[in-house]
């Protein structure tokens, strides 16, 4: 198995929205805002090469939206999905599986491209993976989250016939703990979390005797490690608090490595206990772990 960080560029989001109730006097030291109160964030995906499978986790924003849409998000940087794949000797047609943590536009926008007047899968040879619970949530969105679920990113996946659903583990109504892990592939399990959006999926990978977690929007960046640093974008912030607290305790004990999708600088970190709580220990690039 070999893992690759696939950088697809950066975009900007409102700093206050990204840090919720945390005052700007605090979060602005972590990710300084521009004159419009916008902070830069990465669109970092993960490529997993394992035998004859090439699994891409999330696909970034893509580029098919109009100028007005992207005018809100200020895409910048030289990296693109195609360039990053090519850097490691791959082409999008080599991808066998596209695993979508959830269907917000900055995580699945690159899944679909425009070909003339048609919207078609960007990865013609891949199976696209979601889960039925989140799919139904995204295709029948609430008013607050509707702007993040764009039908042009989502519906063509199903229409292509390339979509498959992973089962969401069941639990009793009185069980408030984390959902059980599901198996996706050898050395690759799935964690389900529900605070940010319904049934978001986090890949958990056993790699070189280490456990690596793709954090998606549970921990968008290292700056979000403190428990109360919860995004205003989260649908159920109190559930996010519980999920963060439970996960960090487990991750510290298990010596997990966290891989960040949106941190503008840091790809990965390990954890340590400090007087302020669980925080980053070592910060490093995924490539520093080497490969088999």
Report the pLDDT value the prediction gives residue 283, as an integer from 0 to 100. Answer: 97
Of 214, 164, 187, 221, nearest in space to 6 by CA: 214
Report the pLDDT value the prediction gives residue 173, as an integer from 0 to 100. Answer: 54
Report the pLDDT value the prediction gives residue 186, as an integer from 0 to 100. Answer: 85
Give the CATH number of domain 2-289. Answer: 3.60.15.10
Report the pLDDT value the prediction gives residue 181, as an integer from 0 to 100. Answer: 84
Read off the pLDDT of residues 206-239 as tens digits, 9 standing for 90 and up: 999 999 999 999 999 999 999 999 999 999 999 9
Cβ proximity of 267 and 284 under 8 Å: yes
Read off the pLDDT of residues 107-131 as tens digits, 9 standing for 90 and up: 999 999 999 889 999 999 999 999 9
For residue 4, count CB atoms less than 10 angstroms from its CB and return exposed for 0-12, middle for 13-18, buried for 19 or more.
buried
Domain boundaries, the chain: 2-289
Residue 17 region, left (φ>0) first, then alpha (ψ -120 to 50), else beta? alpha
User: Residues 6-14: what's their mean pLDDT?
Assistant: 97
User: Residues 231-251: what's their mean pLDDT?
Assistant: 96
Read off the pLDDT of residues 141-183 as tens digits, 9 standing for 90 and up: 999 999 999 999 999 999 999 999 999 987 655 555 666 788 8
Distance CA 211, CA 203 (A): 10
Report the pLDDT value the prediction gives residue 286, as an integer from 0 to 100. Answer: 94
Distance CA 5, CA 56 (A): 10
The yes-or-no verdict on residue 245 having pLDDT over 80 is yes
Report the pLDDT value the prediction gives residue 178, as an integer from 0 to 100. Answer: 67
For the full predicted model, state whether its pTM sits above 0.85: yes
Cβ proximity of 44 and 87 under 8 Å: no
Read off the pLDDT of residues 38-97 as tens digits, 9 standing for 90 and up: 999 999 999 999 999 999 999 999 989 888 888 899 999 999 999 999 999 999 999 999
Considering the chain, what percentage of its residues have pLDDT values greater than 90? 87
Distance CA 290, CA 122 (A): 29
Length of the chain: 292
Report the pLDDT value the prediction gives residue 85, as an integer from 0 to 100. Answer: 98
């Amino acid at each position: 198995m070999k893992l690759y960080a696939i950088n697809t560029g950066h975009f900007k989001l409102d700093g206050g929205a990204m840090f919720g109730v945390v005052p700007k006097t605090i979060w602005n030291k972590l990710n300084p805002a521009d004159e419009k109160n916008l902070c830069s964030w990465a669109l970092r995906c993960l490529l997993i090469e394992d035998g004859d499978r090439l699994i891409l986790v999330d696909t970034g924003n893509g580029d098919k939206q109009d100028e007005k849409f992207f005018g809100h998000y200020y895409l910048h940087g030289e990296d693109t999905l195609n360039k990053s794949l090519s850097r490691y000797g791959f082409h999008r047609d080599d991808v066998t599986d596209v695993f979508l943590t959830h269907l917000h536009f900055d995580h699945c926008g690159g899944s679909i491209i425009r070909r003339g007047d048609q919207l078609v899968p960007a990865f013609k040879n891949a199976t696209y993976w979601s889960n039925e619970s989140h799919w139904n949530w995204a295709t029948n969105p609430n008013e607050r989250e509707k702007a993040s679920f764009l039908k042009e990113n989502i519906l063509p996946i199903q229409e292509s016939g390339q979509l498959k659903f992973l089962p969401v583990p069941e639990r009793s109504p009185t069980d408030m703990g984390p959902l059980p892990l599901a198996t996706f592939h050898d050395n690759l399990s799935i964690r389900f979390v529900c605070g940010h959006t319904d049934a978001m999926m986090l890949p958990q990978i056993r790699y070189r005797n280490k456990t690596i977690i793709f954090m998606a929007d549970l921990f968008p960046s290292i700056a979000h490690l403190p428990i109360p640093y919860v995004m205003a974008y989260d649908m159920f912030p109190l559930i996010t608090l519980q999920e963060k607290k439970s996960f960090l305790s487990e991750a510290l004990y298990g010596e997990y490595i966290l891989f960040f999708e949106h941190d503008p600088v840091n790809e990965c970190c390990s954890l340590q206990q400090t007087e302020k709580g669980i925080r980053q220990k070592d910060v490093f690039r995924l490539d520093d772990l080497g490969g088999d």
